[in-house]
């Protein structure tokens, strides 16, 4: 009898655990159904915990950025729980959480992904939260606008330029001010090559970064994203391909990310590098003297560079009472003072409003070039591309990669890209 | 095995009457007890096998664009995603790349693994330490080994090219030339797979009785004859399972290729697994439906080889 008793108990215990496990599975869906009841408790009492996601895993707990985020939470009277993902992972996590009904309260998202996410209906519009977005620079806000409604506010903006190694340019007898169009750039690159240095490096990796880096040349030649195989587009791609073929740029550009490219430049053996505002500090700390010029368009003048930077957004919540605090948190990030503070924290983010930019230039007169570059920059999803942009961009980076690796000629690669983009867009 | 069985039988004979009484007493409760014991396993299988598989099939027969994914109202499209995938321009390329990648990886992993296993069969000083060192590739996180290989194979600064340059070989752009990129990732993957093959084949060798070798050496068999007539045939069942596991594992390799080339340049290293991953997570524009369709095709391919293996095993048992 003793044995039997023990057995039955064990069996019940095992069964109970199993049932518990099953219940655990089904209760995953509960937050969706009963979300409002659990949400109410947190919204009744001021305070509570709000969630915040951003794409800056490099800024860990205890960093200036973390402090900046927490200060906004404190101001709104809540604790912010911050989670950082890299950009691609963040988009995926957002989609999954939107599907599960577990979206964060506030999210910072890379600008080309904003329209895609807004299109899912998982983002609250800025109108609904009561924000006036009219003071934001139009070229910067464009990435967050779908059908005339803004779904986010840029917390800052960055863009691309050509950094140079002043020592190498001097040795090769190149005056950076003389580089104003493609011809003068090519002449400068050949002079650097003749002096025995690597002339230029950039990121041609087959991801969004590759498209981001290629766009200034693409737009600078007068090409348009709706026609990937135009003669101007082919000309722009040929420029890159020729640099690789003639050895002005190293083979590594085919697989370089922007970070790798910057590492190459920091070795001190490269004349030019195409990179972004976010390297200003690193450039100043380099072991050699550096400078930067705007990316030249084919026939002179500044090429329109794509804008980079994150938008602050509020994903839809079951419990709409949470929006009041969410609004306060976003407010804290988007006042002119808030923009300048963010810019100071990162040391590279240019405020997206005229007022913020003026305050920023006052504090950092040396960065005025970057402010001008951001004002001239162009959103990747602008020109009414919106959610079409990621599809076109994928084809563009595939073509750039194929042409540079020698698998196809520029014309063939871009023809294929245009055809693929058209068939995907229907 | 036999000894343990013997003791249990002996003990069982002693206890049997009491046990039988216990069972009779609880006859009513026994089905519940049975269910109780099976339930955890069933729950585990449902949660971690059946549901993901169902979800994967569900994704592949609906048109989940991003909006539908969030709102959960994807349109049912039947096998359209599969048709799109199979008729896509990329499909023949990806299929061929998958074949090349898996075939070359398996052939070299197995051959080198077997060679090393036979080598280590002869115990010598430090053989244990050396064998342990061969396991290092297995222990390293893939992101580390992938990055290191990419770095070593770098066309401009890679150590492999500077080594080859000593022998007058021109710069090979391993990872950025469509003609060599596949070779580069296969080399890295072979290196990764050798420890697995070594360990399983080595333990298989331990099961070959020593007296067979003694008999063959008395009959005057040389090392090569011993290998072809004794080691290899007796190792056949272990070889078959090694190759099958290697195949399943290699079919779904994403990480090493993704870290080294992201499937490029110009899709030269895009296998079916890479294609699926890229559709789902690689572009910032997730297309879960075609990704799931490609993933399911991979499952089917692996299943075909699984059945092939089962048939082969049955044939061996029948002999």
User: Can you give the residue ranges of every domain in chain A?
Assistant: 48-157+308-376, 160-305+385-425
Per-residue pLDDT of chain B (319 residues), as tens digits, is: 444 444 444 444 444 555 554 555 555 568 888 888 899 999 999 999 999 999 999 989 988 877 787 777 788 888 889 998 999 888 999 999 999 999 999 999 999 999 999 898 888 888 888 888 888 888 889 899 999 999 899 888 889 999 999 998 888 888 888 889 999 999 999 999 999 999 999 999 988 898 988 898 888 888 888 888 888 999 988 999 999 999 989 998 999 999 998 887 888 999 999 999 988 887 777 788 999 999 999 999 999 988 988 898 888 787 7
Which of B285, B286, B287 is best to mutate for the A interface (most A CBs within 10 A)? Answer: B285
Among A8, A117, A407, beta carbon nearest to B265: A407
Among B44, B176, B285, beta carbon nearest to A394: B285
Contact state of A394 with B261 under an 8 Å Cβ cutoff: no
* Distance between first and last Cα of chain A: 74
* Residue B190 pLDDT: 94
* Residue B29 pLDDT: 66
* Residue A88 pLDDT: 76
CATH (residue range A160-305+385-425): 3.40.190.10
* Distance between first and last Cα of chain B: 24
Contact state of B266 with A402 under an 8 Å Cβ cutoff: yes
Contact state of A120 with B69 under an 8 Å Cβ cutoff: yes
Contact state of B264 with A18 under an 8 Å Cβ cutoff: no
Window 174-213 of B: residues touching A by CB (8 A cutoff) are: 175-178
Burial of residue A27, with CB atoms counted within 10 A of its CB: 0-12 exposed, 13-18 middle, 19 or more buried = exposed
Contact state of A405 with B283 under an 8 Å Cβ cutoff: no
Contact state of A92 with B37 under an 8 Å Cβ cutoff: no
Degrees to nearest 5, angle at CA A343 with A267 and A276 = 35
* Smallest CA–CA distance from A390 into chain B, residue: B285
Q: Judge whether B173 is closer than 8 Å to chain A, CB to CB.
A: yes
The answer to whether the CB of A318 falls within 8 A of the CB of A103 is: no
Who contacts A348 (Cβ-Cβ below 8 Å, separation ≥6)? A158, A276, A277, A278, A279, A280, A281, A370
Rounded to whole angstroms, how far apart are CA atoms A142 and A131? 16
* Closest Cα in chain A, distance from residue B50 (Å): 13
Among B33, B261, B267, beta carbon nearest to A255: B261
Rounded to whole angstroms, how far apart are CA atoms B236 and B8? 33
**A98: which chain B residues are within 8 Å (Cβ-Cβ)?**
70
Q: How far is CA A95 from CA A152, A185, B57, B68, B265, in A?
A: 16, 43, 19, 10, 29
Could you state, in chain order, the average pLDDT of each consecutive group of 10 residues for chain A (426 residues)?
A: 47 46 39 37 58 86 87 91 86 86 91 85 89 86 86 89 93 91 94 93 90 94 93 95 93 88 92 88 88 90 87 90 91 87 79 88 82 83 80 92 91 94 86
* Other beta carbons within 10 Å of A162: 22
* Residue B28 pLDDT: 59
Q: How far is CA A5 from CA A16, B25, B33, in A?
A: 16, 11, 12
Contact state of A208 with B284 under an 8 Å Cβ cutoff: yes
Q: Could you tell me the two tokens for B39?
A: 């339930």
Rounded to whole angstroms, how far apart are CA atoms B205 and A363? 74
Contact state of B262 with A207 under an 8 Å Cβ cutoff: yes
The answer to whether the CB of A258 falls within 8 A of the CB of A266 is: no
Q: How many CB pairs under 8 A join A and B?
A: 135
* Closest Cα in chain B, distance from residue A100 (Å): 8
* Closest Cα in chain B, distance from residue A18 (Å): 5
Q: Which H or E run includes A161?
A: strand A160-165
Domains, chain B:
80-318 (1.10.3720.10)
Which 3 state secondary structure label does DSSP give B63?
strand
The answer to whether the CB of B193 falls within 8 A of the CB of B138 is: no
Contact state of A4 with B32 under an 8 Å Cβ cutoff: no
Which of A99, A118, A254 is best to mutate for the B interface (most B CBs within 10 A)? Answer: A254
Give the largest Cα separation in chain A, rounded.
Answer: 99
**A14: which chain B residues are within 8 Å (Cβ-Cβ)?**
36-37, 39-40
Among B18, B39, B281, beta carbon nearest to A15: B39
* Closest Cα in chain A, distance from residue B274 (Å): 13
Q: Which H or E run includes B6?
A: helix B2-25
Q: Do domains A48-157+308-376 and A160-305+385-425 have the same CATH topology?
A: yes
Window 260-319 of B: residues touching A by CB (8 A cutoff) are: 261-268, 281-286
Contact state of A121 with B25 under an 8 Å Cβ cutoff: no
**pLDDT by residue (tens digit) across A354-401?**
888 888 888 888 788 788 888 878 888 877 787 788 889 989 999 999
Burial of residue B59, with CB atoms counted within 10 A of its CB: 0-12 exposed, 13-18 middle, 19 or more buried = buried
Contact state of B69 with A99 under an 8 Å Cβ cutoff: yes
Superfamily the domain A48-157+308-376 falls into: Periplasmic binding protein-like II (3.40.190.10)
**pLDDT by residue (tens digit) across B196-255?**
999 999 999 988 898 988 898 888 888 888 888 888 999 988 999 999 999 989 998 999
Which 3 state secondary structure label does DSSP give A260?
helix
The full DSSP string for A319-346 is -GGGHHHHHHHHHHHHSHHHHHHHHHHH
* Residue A4 pLDDT: 47
* Residue B11 pLDDT: 47
Among A12, A110, A405, beta carbon nearest to B176: A405
Contact state of A88 with B284 under an 8 Å Cβ cutoff: yes
Among B40, B44, B178, beta carbon nearest to A405: B178
* Residue A47 pLDDT: 65
* Residue B48 pLDDT: 93
Which of A3, A405, A408, A425 is best to mutate for the B interface (most B CBs within 10 A)? Answer: A405
**A21: which chain B residues are within 8 Å (Cβ-Cβ)?**
40, 43-44, 47
**A407: which chain B residues are within 8 Å (Cβ-Cβ)?**
178, 265-266, 268
Contact state of B284 with A391 under an 8 Å Cβ cutoff: no
* Smallest CA–CA distance from A119 into chain B, residue: B67
Contact state of A207 with B69 under an 8 Å Cβ cutoff: no
* Residue A168 pLDDT: 94
Which 3 state secondary structure label does DSSP give B76?
strand
What is this model's ipTM? Answer: 0.73
* Closest Cα in chain A, distance from residue B156 (Å): 7
* Closest Cα in chain A, distance from residue B86 (Å): 16
Rounded to whole angstroms, how far apart are CA atoms A204 and A215? 11
Rounded to whole angstroms, how far apart are CA atoms A317 and A319? 5
Q: Judge whether B66 is closer than 8 Å to chain A, CB to CB.
A: yes
Contact state of B70 with A120 under an 8 Å Cβ cutoff: yes
């Amino acid at each position: 009898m003793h044995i039997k008793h023990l057995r039955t108990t064990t069996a019940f215990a095992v069964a109970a655990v199993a049932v518990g496990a099953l219940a655990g599975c089904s209760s995953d869906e509960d937050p969706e159904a009963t979300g409002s009841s659990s949400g109410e408790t947190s919204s009744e009492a001021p305070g509570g915990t709000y969630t915040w996601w951003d794409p800056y895993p490099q800024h860990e707990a205890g960093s200036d950025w973390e402090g900046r985020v927490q200060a906004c939470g404190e101001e709104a009277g809540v604790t912010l729980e911050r989670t950082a993902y890299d950009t691609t992972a963040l988009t995926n996590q957002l989609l999954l959480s939107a599907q599960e009904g577990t979206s964060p309260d506030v999210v910072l998202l890379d600008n080309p992904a904003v329209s895609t996410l807004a299109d899912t209906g998982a983002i609250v519009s800025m109108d609904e939260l009561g924000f006036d977005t009219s003071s934001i620079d139009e070229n910067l806000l464009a990435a967050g606008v779908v059908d005339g409604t803004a779904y986010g506010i840029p917390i800052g903006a960055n863009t691309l330029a050509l950094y140079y190694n002043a020592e190498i340019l001097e040795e090769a007898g190149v005056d950076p001010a003389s580089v104003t169009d493609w011809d003068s750039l090519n002449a400068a690159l050949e002079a650097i090559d003749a002096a025995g240095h690597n002339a230029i490096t950039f990121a041609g990796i087959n991801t969004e970064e590759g498209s981001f880096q290629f766009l200034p040349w693409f737009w600078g030649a007068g090409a348009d994203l709706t026609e990937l195989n135009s003669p101007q587009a082919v000309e722009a791609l040929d420029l890159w391909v020729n640099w690789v073929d003639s050895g002005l740029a190293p083979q590594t550009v085919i697989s370089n990310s922007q970070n790798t490219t910057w590492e190459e430049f920091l070795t001190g053996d490269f004349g030019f590098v195409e990179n972004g505002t976010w390297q200003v500090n690193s450039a100043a700390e380099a072991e050699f003297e550096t400078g930067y010029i705007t990316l030249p368009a084919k026939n002179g003048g500044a090429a329109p560079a794509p804008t980079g930077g994150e938008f602050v957004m509020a994903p839809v919540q079951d419990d709409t009472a949470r929006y009041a605090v969410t609004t306060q948190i976003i407010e804290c990030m988007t006042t002119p003072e808030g923009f300048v503070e963010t810019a100071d924290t990162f040391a590279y983010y240019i405020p997206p409003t005229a007022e913020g930019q003026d305050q920023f230039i006052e504090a950092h007169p040396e960065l005025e070039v970057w402010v001008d570059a951001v004002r001239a920059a162009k959103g990747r999803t602008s020109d009414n591309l919106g959610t079409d942009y990621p599809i076109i961009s994928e084809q563009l980076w595939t073509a750039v990669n194929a042409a540079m690796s020698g698998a196809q000629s520029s014309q063939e690669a871009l023809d294929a890209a245009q055809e693929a983009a058209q068939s995907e867009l229907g | 095995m036999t000894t343990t069985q013997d003791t249990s039988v002996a003990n069982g004979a002693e206890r049997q009457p009491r046990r039988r009484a216990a069972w009779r007493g609880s006859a009513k409760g026994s089905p519940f007890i049975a269910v109780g014991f099976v339930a955890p396993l069933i729950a585990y299988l449902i949660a971690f096998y059946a549901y993901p598989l169902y979800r994967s099939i569900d994704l592949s027969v609906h048109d989940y664009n991003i909006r539908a994914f969030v709102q959960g109202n994807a349109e049912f499209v039947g096998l359209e995603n599969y048709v799109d995938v199979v008729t896509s321009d990329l499909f023949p390329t990806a299929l061929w790349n998958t074949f090349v990648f898996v075939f070359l990886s398996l052939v070299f992993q197995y051959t080198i693994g077997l060679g090393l296993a036979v080598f280590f069969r002869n115990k010598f000083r430090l053989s244990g330490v050396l064998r342990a060192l061969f396991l290092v590739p297995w222990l390293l996180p893939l992101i580390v080994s992938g990055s290191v290989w990419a770095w070593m194979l770098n066309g401009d600064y890679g150590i492999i090219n500077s080594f080859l340059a000593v022998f007058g070989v021109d710069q090979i752009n391993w990872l950025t030339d469509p003609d060599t990129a596949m070779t580069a990732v296969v080399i890295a993957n072979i290196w990764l797979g050798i420890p697995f093959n070594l360990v399983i084949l080595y333990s298989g060798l331990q099961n070959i009785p020593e007296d067979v070798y003694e008999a063959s050496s008395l009959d005057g068999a040389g090392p090569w004859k011993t290998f072809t007539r004794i080691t290899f045939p007796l190792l056949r069942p272990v070889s078959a399972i090694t190759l099958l596991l290697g195949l399943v594992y290699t079919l779904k390799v994403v990480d090493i290729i993704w870290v080294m080339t992201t499937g490029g340049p110009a899709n030269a290293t895009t296998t079916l697994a890479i294609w699926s991953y890229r559709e789902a997570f690689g572009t910032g524009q997730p297309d879960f439906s075609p990704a799931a369709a490609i993933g399911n095709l991979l499952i089917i391919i692996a299943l075909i080889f699984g059945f092939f293996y089962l048939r082969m095993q049955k044939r061996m048992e029948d002999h």
